[in-house]
Amino acid sequence: MTGNASIRACPNCTGTQAVKLPVYSRDEWNVVSCDDCEMIYLQNPPKYEALEQDFAWEKTFVQEDETRVKKRGLLKRLAYAGRMLSYRLRPSPNARYLRVLGPGKILDVGCGDVVRWTAPFVPFGIKIPKALAKGADKKMRALGGECRQGAGAPTIWEFPENHFDSIMMHSYLEHEVDVDQILRGAQRCLKPGGKAFIRVPNFNSLNRKWSKGDWPGLRYPDHVNYFTVNTLKSVAANAGLGFQLTNKHKIWLDDNIQALFIKPIQN
């Protein structure tokens, strides 16, 4: 598999000096910490072609989930069951995110083939695996939008400037090799004042510090970025986007960071 991988610079500061973190690395996949900004990332991620075929999410999810289940002790199994119950009791994604993002055209990056958005949202999407993109496109076109097949970072630039009212990157940015390109593309195609909702694993969570290499936020090799609040805020600023943490009240306990990246309104 190493032939499908390439060495990259830090996705936050573009630094090239980093130290390997053995406890978080597996097989040939090297998780490192940037010497300059302490961003944690996979230094040798697979190329997009491999992500589309060999490491497509729908192929690796079941195996990874089974591995995690085997590693869970009693307390973690109970906590997981509690989280699943809370998800079922929540309002629908459409209602929940409408309060946060407002209505209009929404771009779901890494959408899969499940369309979560109905009126007053108009759903658009981007997805790498061809089968999932095709399924989503059919559903989105029936609702006035479309889904484009391709890698997120280059494909987002195909949409017009100031086109979207909001963007959803739910469990996406940890998979994106070219963080700066995708976020600059998001800044470009958002309307002024538009918001991107970001949800990524929280490398500073108490559970990660406790679980170390067994932390469920680790996924090999398709999680290529491991953010803290500081590094997530930094990549937003690099792209000209404002930052608002939405789960600040429980961030040290939460395995995920939830935030809004906001396009400034020009005077």
pLDDT class of 169 with cuts at 50, 70, 90: very high
74-92 residue pLDDT tens: 555 555 554 545 445 555 7
Nearest Cα neighbor of 145 from 167, 118, 123 is 123
Q: What's the whole-number mean pLDDT along residues 9-29?
A: 97
Confidence of residue 111 (pLDDT cuts 50, 70, 90): confident
Spatial strand order in the sheet of 31-34: 18-20, 31-34, 40-42, 225-226
pLDDT at 3: 46
State the chain's mean pLDDT as an integer: 87
How far apart CA 7 and CA 266 sit, in angstroms, is 38
Residue pLDDT, tens place only, 192-250? 999 999 999 999 999 999 999 999 999 999 899 999 999 999 999 999 999 999 999 88
Question: Can you say how many angstroms the Cα of residue 132 is from the centroid of all Cα atoms in its chain?
Answer: 17
Band (pLDDT 50/70/90 cuts) for residue 43 is very high
Prediction pTM value: 0.85
Neighbouring CB atoms inside 10 A of 160's CB total 8
Enter the tokens of residue 67: 């591995």
Q: Phi/psi zone of residue 112: left (φ > 0), alpha (ψ -120 to 50 degrees), beta?
A: left
Contact at 8 Å (CB) between 174 and 220? no
Hey, what domains does the chain have and what are their CATH numbers? 74-262 (3.40.50.150)
pLDDT band at 53 (very low <50, low <70, confident <90, very high): low
